[in-house]
Structure 1
Amino acid sequence: MTPPVVAIDALEKSFGDYPTKRVLRGVNLSIPPGTVLGLLGQNGSGKSTLLKCSLGLLRPTAGSVTVLGDDSWNLSAGVKARLGYVPQEAVTYPWMRVRQVIAYTAAFYPTWNQRLVDELCQRWRLPLEERVGPLSVGQLQSLAIVLALGHEPELLMLDEPVAGLDPSARREFLRTILEIVDNPRRTIMFSTHITSDLERVANRVAILKDGRIAYYGELDELKDRVKRLRIAAAHDLPQSFKIPGALRCEVAGAVATVSVNDFDEQLADHLRTAWSADVTVHDLNLEEIFVEMHAAGSPTLAVTR
């Protein structure tokens, strides 16, 4: 059996003195090679902290993270050379010209693919002769992505990589990611708030909620599991109307709108019979599923492996 690229076991991370702020509360993930994992969560849910613990930029409070066989806090030089990382806020050398930063970074990597870098710079219209300091936020983010991709890393971690990009640059970035994932040896973890982008490139999704993994599994499986039902009964429904596995339920007279986890047709048939109701099943996109999962009082979905 092929070992996971990233193995996270009971990971916890807290900040500050008493009372400490617990950001991660026992996270478990096992990410096989070739995975494109989209990491979703509300602000403050721990997405960036999870990525930084995986890269050895933050030391876990408890638990462990193994990356390409190494403990994340003690990564060897060989493993570091196989990693790529784009942080939320790109930081580089403001006094250098863009081409100088690229050349400086390339010197650290014997596997540097200058042809790929030249193509990306052209796609994203990076001004090679301009100094880095005055670049726009979007240009800095594009440069950070180029620097992370230049040595063709085996594991690429991206923290809100398109946050500063305009729609055209975002499209080019997604095109590049789709090209990268053609390589079955390449694994990508990225956090984003733009769920439509994630749906285009990710094959798995991990959703963080209150510092824990609320769902981890195939994206298509998640869409198959979570549905919205519109139930139009013959008579008024009670305000206490409940459905097993409901994430959210709204009742207005004889009509109920319910978002459910673990949907199957037997549930719909049961509702039709029990309430003499017309039941319509609606598919949800990833953004709608995310909203339903974070509605007040919504239970956590069962984590899959």
Structure 2
Amino acid sequence: MNQLSQPAVLADGLCKSFAAKQVLSNLDLALAPGTVLGLLGANGSGKTTLIKCLLGLFRTSGGRAQIFGEDAWNLSATTKERIGYVPQEVATYPWMRVRHVIDYTAAFYPRWNRELVADLCRRWRLPLDERSGSLSVGQLQTLGIVLALGHEPELLILDEPVASLDPGARREFLRTLIDLVEHPDRTVLFSTHITSDLERVASQIALLRDGQIEFCGELDLLKDRVKRLRILAPDALPASFAVAGALSCQVDGKLAVATVADFSPQEIDELRQTWNADVTVSDLNLEEIFVELHDSESPKLSQGELTGAVR
């Protein structure tokens, strides 16, 4: 496989268990260089476990995890220099002043953009002369982002990077991230529960459920396929009323509201004809789609629904 066609990140049949608990099961994922992928999943779905397996911080129980074609558990120093990582909880040396933490980190990288780092510290108001141990949680997370961006990595992996940032800092971070991802060869894996952030940044979405990737593809494709239907009939609808492919369906007299996972204009025409009904189709935002897909009563998507891949 040549370098151009080689995924920046690859999971092939990846499995991870902790004692008797299986967290990831035969998971497949491939990110082409230049992809900006948003990773979504309910709490406890295994997002952080997946990220740590991909980075070689956890050893997989089965399958493969690779970064730039190298086994994640045995990454070379050269490949590690191409990666930037922001964990959920940033750990540093509490006795060091912030500027010394930055200088210490910079010493590990042959290429370090001091102008970029100075600009980020100024824009994000990092107190360079304070000891890192005295920083607030949000300031510490901001420092972690700066350290991950300083060497301008080809692959940037973010695990809930803005969870502790205030709205202003989060806006600044997203503006910076949008500028960074304009580089055609920079790959980003962005895990967050703030779906509005993903809609601003990510072009691809991966949904993690029950230890597997349930959907992986373009955000626009996901929005095109998941729709909400408002069905108004001239007479009361039966309690058994159902819509094919519905994730949820509520019936109240003449009115039914259904969310479908595999939207088809032909099925809409059939509903209109069968029930002599007025059918209105509405778009959903990413948060609404996520809630519908991960509702405990919703069936897991079949292989024929929402098919997509990051290639």
Same fold (TM over 0.5): yes
1:197 corresponds in structure 2 to 197
TM-score (norm 1): 0.97
What amino acid does structure 2 have at the position aligned with 1:45?
Answer: S
What stretches of structure 2 of length at least 5 have no aligned partner?
none
1:162 equivalent to 2:165? Answer no
> What do the CA deviations read for 1:61-84 (whole angstroms, capped 9, x no partner)?
111111111011111111001001
- Structure 1's consecutive aligned runs of 4 or more residues displaced over 6 angstroms after TM superposition are none
1:141 equivalent to 2:152? Answer no
- Report how many residues are paired: 302
2:182 corresponds in structure 1 to 182
CA distance in 1, matches of 2:280, 2:6: 43
Q: Map of 1:117-156 to 2, 5 A cutoff?
A: 117-156=117-156
Give how far 1:237 is off: 1.5
1:8 equivalent to 2:41? Answer no
- Say which is worse superposed, 235-244 or 129-138, in terms of deviation: 235-244
CA distance in 2, matches of 1:261, 1:42: 18
CA distance in 1, matches of 2:128, 2:145: 15
Q: Map of 1:285-300 to 2, 5 A cutoff?
A: 285-300=285-300
1:255 equivalent to 2:258? Answer no
CA distance in 2, matches of 1:140, 1:96: 13
2:308 corresponds in structure 1 to 304
Give how far 1:26 is off: 1.4
Q: SS state of the match for residue 221, structure 2? A: helix
CA distance in 1, matches of 2:213, 2:204: 13
CA distance in 2, matches of 1:239, 1:119: 61
Give how far 1:264 is off: 2.4
What amino acid does structure 1 have at the position aligned with 2:170?
Answer: R
CA distance in 2, matches of 1:109, 1:183: 20
2:88 corresponds in structure 1 to 88
Q: SS state of the match for residue 165, structure 1? A: coil
CA distance in 1, matches of 2:121, 2:10: 34
What amino acid does structure 2 have at the position aligned with 1:190?
Answer: F
CA distance in 2, matches of 1:122, 1:186: 24
1:222 corresponds in structure 2 to 222
Q: Map of 1:48-67 to 2, 5 A cutoff?
A: 48-67=48-67
What amino acid does structure 2 have at the position aligned with 1:4?
Answer: P
What amino acid does structure 2 have at the position aligned with 1:296?
Answer: S
Give how far 1:262 is off: 1.7
> What do the CA deviations read for 1:85-116 (whole angstroms, capped 9, x no partner)?
00000000000000000000000101100000
Q: SS state of the match for residue 90, structure 2? A: coil
CA distance in 2, matches of 1:231, 1:34: 41
Q: SS state of the match for residue 126, structure 1? A: coil
Give how far 1:296 is off: 2.5
CA distance in 2, matches of 1:299, 1:71: 35
CA distance in 1, matches of 2:114, 2:58: 31
What amino acid does structure 2 have at the position aligned with 1:234?
Answer: P
CA distance in 2, matches of 1:77, 1:283: 46
Q: Map of 1:38-117 to 2, 5 A cutoff?
A: 38-117=38-117
Give how far 1:187 is off: 0.3
Give how far 1:219 is off: 0.4
Q: Give the superposed CA RMSD.
A: 0.9
Give how far 1:25 is off: 1.3
- Say which is worse superposed, 257-266 or 236-245, in terms of deviation: 236-245
> What do the CA deviations read for 1:240-287 (whole angstroms, capped 9, x no partner)?
222221111111112111000121222211111110101011100000
What amino acid does structure 2 have at the position aligned with 1:154?
Answer: E
CA distance in 2, matches of 1:55, 1:43: 20
What amino acid does structure 2 have at the position aligned with 1:6?
Answer: V
Give how far 1:48 is off: 0.3
CA distance in 2, matches of 1:243, 1:224: 18
Give how far 1:50 is off: 0.5
TM-score (norm 2): 0.95
What amino acid does structure 2 have at the position aligned with 1:131?
Answer: R
CA distance in 2, matches of 1:30, 1:212: 13
